[in-house]
Amino acid sequence: MRNLSEEAALYVERWNNAPDGNAGDCPVRGVLDKISDKWSMLLVMTLASGPKRFNQLRREVPDISQKMLTQTLRDLQRDGMVGRRVFDTKPPSVEYRLTPLGESIIVPFGHLIQWASANHNTIGAARVEFDSAA
């Protein structure tokens, strides 16, 4: 191990000592697969600012199709990240909101966004450099 930060070293150690290090059925990878879903985290962050209705979400995430919005919301609901509430109005309206579990992922995911925001320029430059060298 090189001189990583204390905190980084801790995570690396935990990773290496995980009971199922890198098995395909490792439960952590199961959760991470959801996180890596194209739309899941985008919707979570959109719902983070408060409950929203179906078409409201469509407007705030313009490039999601209706199908994927429905499907992603159902998956998030299934995982207990999002709550769904139906109002018997006319026309009917449905409200989606983050559960406490859903809210709890905002912080760790925020760290990742912060990292991406801070480093996307560096990454972009590295890509240009790499491609020009080829």
Partner DNA sequence: CCGAATCCGGCGTGATACTG
Partner DNA sequence: CAGTATCACGCCGGATTCGG
Site residues (vs DNA, CB under 7 A): 37-38, 53-56, 63-68, 70, 73-74, 84, 91-94
Q: List the single partner that 111 binds among DNA, a second copy, none, CB under 5 to 8 Å by kind.
A: a second copy
Q: CB 81: neighbour CB atoms within 10 A?
A: 22
Query: Which of the listed partners (DNA, a second copy, none) does 4 bind, with a CB threshold of 5 to 8 Å by partner kind?
Result: a second copy
If the CB atoms of residues 4 and 32 are measured against DNA, the closer one turns out to be 32
What's the token pair of residue 122? 């560096």
Site stretch for a second copy (CB under 8 A), options 65-73, 85-93, 110-118 = 110-118
Residue 73 binds which entry of a second copy, DNA, none, with Cβ cut-offs from 5 to 8 Å by kind?
A: DNA
The least distance separating a second copy from the CB of residue 90, rounded to whole angstroms, comes to: 26
Q: Cα–Cα distance between 91 and 11 in angstroms, integer?
A: 50
Q: Is 89 near a second copy (CB under 8 A)?
A: no
Among 54, 58, 61, 66, binds a second copy (CB under 8 A): 61
Please report how close the Cβ of residue 87 comes to a second copy at its closest, in angstroms. Answer: 19
Asked if residues 40 and 69 have their Cβ atoms less than 8 Å apart, the reply is no
Nearest to 111 by CA among 6, 19, 1, 7: 7
Structure tokens at 74: 């159902």
Q: Which of residues 26-55 bind a second copy (CB under 8 A)?
A: 27-33, 35-38, 41-42, 45-46, 48-50
Q: What is the DSSP letter of 79?
A: T
Under a CB-based contact definition with an 8 Å cutoff, are residues 84 and 93 in contact? Answer: no
In sequence order, what E strands does the chain have? 52-53, 82-87, 93-98
